Amino acid sequence: MDGGPPLASLQTFFDSTGSGPQPPFSESLIPYVAACISTGGIYLRSDVLKKGDETLPHRALLRATGIGDDDLKKPFIGIANSFNELIPGHIHLGELVSEVKRGIREAGGVPFEWGVPGICDGIAMHVSMRHSLPSREHIADNVELMVLSHSLDAWVGVTNCDKITPGMLMAAGRLDLPAIILTGGPMKAGRDGDEVYDLSSGFEAVGALKAGRMSIEEANRIERHSCPGPGSCSGMFTANSMACMTEALGMSLSGCATALAVSEGKREQAYLSGRRIVGLLSEGLKPSQIMTPEAFHNAIMVDMAIGGSTNVALHLPAIAGELGIDLTMGLFDEISRTTPNICHISPSGPHHMEDLDGAGGIPAVLNRLVDELKSAKTVDGRDILEIARSSPVRDGSVVRELGDPFFPEGGLAVLRGNMAKDSVIKQIAVSEEMMAHRGPAKVFDTEEGVLSAIGNGEIEEGDVVVINFMGPAGAPGMPEMLSPTAAIIGAGFTKVALVTDGRFSGATRGPCVGHVTPEAYIGGVIGLIRDGDIIEIDIPGRALNVEIADHELGSRRKKMSPPRRELTPFLRSYRDHVLRRC
C-alpha cells in the first residue's frame, strides 16, 4: 500500500519527476501522503478538495470557515487539541495551540483545530475509572475520523495526560501521515514551607486519615498544596512517563517531555512544533520512519532508566501494534535486566519533573545511555544518537552515571509463574525487605472492598491483597488501583503486597503487581484465589506463584462465576472488543 513516492522536498520531487498525467485519487491513498504530479503542479492529500470541478461545493464549505484563495494553495495541517477545563494538565493547551498555529502559518501551512476528549484519571478514579483506558482507543479513532474525513496533509497532536498521549501516538502509527506530538508539560511540585507534595501525597493522606495517623488540618494542607497549577502531575506518573516515551520515540521535539507547562520554553516548543510539522510534510518524513523497532527499543531503555509508570508496558505495545511491530513483555524484562535505574523521580524518590528538566531532561538521560542506544530518526530532524551526544547532564545527582545507579536494574520487572503468564511491577518503588514476600491472600473484587477492609482493621501485615476481575474485560476497562495502594501506604503498612489483573497509576509505590494475565474474567488463575491461599512474590527471581494444587485449581475453575457489573453501552462494547481479541 503506497500513496506515492516519498518527498525529499516538494520542489525537488517536482523538479526530478516532471509533468505527467494526473492520477486518480482512490480510497487506497487515504492513509498516505498522495505525492502525485499533474500538469498543474504537485498534489497533496488536501488537493483532492482544493482542485477540480467536482469539489467546487466542498471548497464552498471551506470558504465558509474563512479559507481564502491563498489558503487553497497551501498544505492543510490538522491540530488535535485535547484542551478542556477539567484536567490540570490540559487547561493551558489552548494557549499552546495558538503558538502551534502561528508556527504553521509562518511555515506556509493552514492550521485546522478540533477537540479531542480527555479523562483525568485522578478525578475519574473515584467514580468511573473504567472509562479511562477505553478512551485511548476512542482518541485514536477521533484523530483517524477527523484527519481522513477532511483530507488533511499532516497533523499535530497537542496532549498531556495518561490515555490521550498514547491514543494520539496510536493514531500517528495508524495513519502514517506526517505528525508531531506536543506534550503540554508537567506542573510544578507543590510546596508549603519546607514540605514538598504531589498527587500521591493526597492519595496517601486518605489512608493516613482512615488509620488515624493524620489530622484533618494536615490533610487539608496537602489538598490545597499538592497540585499548584497547570500541567501534568509533577512526578514520574503515567502522563509524564508517556511524555518521556514520546520524546524517546522521536515523536516530539527534543526537551519537550520535561519543560514545565508554565515555562516560556514550552510556548517556544509549541511554536517550533508548528513550524516543524510543515517541514516534516515537505520532507515526507512519516511516523513509520521514526517509530521503528529501534526507536521502541530506545524508548523501553529510557523508561527503565527513569523508572516510568507500569502503564508504559501497556501503552508502548499498543502503539507499536499500530505499526505492525510486536513488543513483548519479554523484551521489557530483557532490557530491564541490563539497564540500571539512574533517576529517582517521585513516587520512587525525592525528585520531581522540574528537577529532571533542570538536569537536562530526556536528552541528558539519552547522553548517559548513548553507547547502548540504536540509531533512529526523530521529528527534531536529528538522529537520536546525535541528540544524545550533544546533550550534557547538568545535575549528576538527578541523572546519575550508569556506574552509580539508584538501582542496578531497570524500573520495571516482569513476573511470571502459575499465577501469571505476565505481570508487571515497578521494582524501584519496592523496599528491599519486600523484594521477596510470601503471605496469605485477602481477596476482593472491588476497590471499595479493600478500602473498607483497611478501615475495619481486616488487613494485617504480611497479607497479599488480591483485587481480581479488574482486567480489560472483567472490570471492564482495567481501572487503576491507586486508591487502595495509596491507602495501604497511608495506613502505615510496610509488609502488605497487592496483586491485581487491573493496573496501577504511575503514582503507585510499594510491592504492587499489576497487569496479571490471563485476567480473571477469561479464566485466569487470579480469579480462582480464595482467602488464605499462600502467594509468593519473588522480584529478583521474577516469579509470581500461588500455592494451590492443579486439581484444586481445576475444581475451582468449574465453579468460578464473575461478579455482575453494571455496564453502559460504551463499556459493553469495549468488553466485546476485548473478548474478540482474546
Q: Which three cell numbers stand for residue 452?
A: 473498607
Other Cβ atoms within 10 Å of 374 Cβ, number: 15
DSSP letter at 562 equals P
Alpha helices per DSSP H over 41-109:
47-50, 56-64, 93-106
Q: How far is CA 259 from CA 435, 450, 484, in A?
A: 34, 38, 31
Cα pseudo-dihedral 469, 470, 472, 474, rounded to 10: 30
Distance of CA 452 to the CA centre of its chain: 31
Asked if 390 is an active-site residue, the reply is: no
Other Cβ atoms within 10 Å of 370 Cβ, number: 15
Q: How many residues does the chain have?
A: 582
Residues 388 and 302: beta-carbon distance below 8 Å: no
Long-range CB pairs of 112-115, under 8 A, 24+ apart, other chains included: 112/76, 112/77, 112/78, 112/79, 112/150, 112/152, 113/78, 113/79, 113/81, 114/78, 114/79, 114/80, 114/81, 114/146, 115/81, 115/82, 115/83, 115/84
Residues 129 and 479: beta-carbon distance below 8 Å: yes
Place of cell 530518526: 377
- Measured distance between the N- and C-terminal CA atoms of the chain, rounded to whole angstroms: 28
Rounded to 10°, the helix 293-306/238-249 angle is 140
Q: 480 has which bridge partners?
A: 503
Longest alpha-carbon distance in the chain: 80
Rounded to whole angstroms, the Cα distance separating 513 from 472 reads: 16
Cα pseudo-dihedral 287, 89, 167, 365, rounded to 10: 50
Residues 548 and 533: beta-carbon distance below 8 Å: yes
Rounded to whole angstroms, the Cα distance separating 579 from 90 reads: 33
Annotated catalytic residue, options 282, 505, 555, 561 = 505
Mapped to the 3 state alphabet, what secondary structure does 118-157 carry?
CCCHHHHCCCCHHHHHHHHHHHHHHHHHHHHHCCCCEEEE
Residues 82 and 120: beta-carbon distance below 8 Å: no
Q: How far is CA 266 from CA 126, 229, 387, 476, in A?
A: 31, 15, 19, 37
Other Cβ atoms within 10 Å of 17 Cβ, number: 13
Rounded to whole angstroms, the Cα distance separating 485 from 428 reads: 16
Rama region for 385: left / alpha / beta (φ>0; ψ in -120 to 50; rest): alpha
- Residues with catalytic annotation? 505
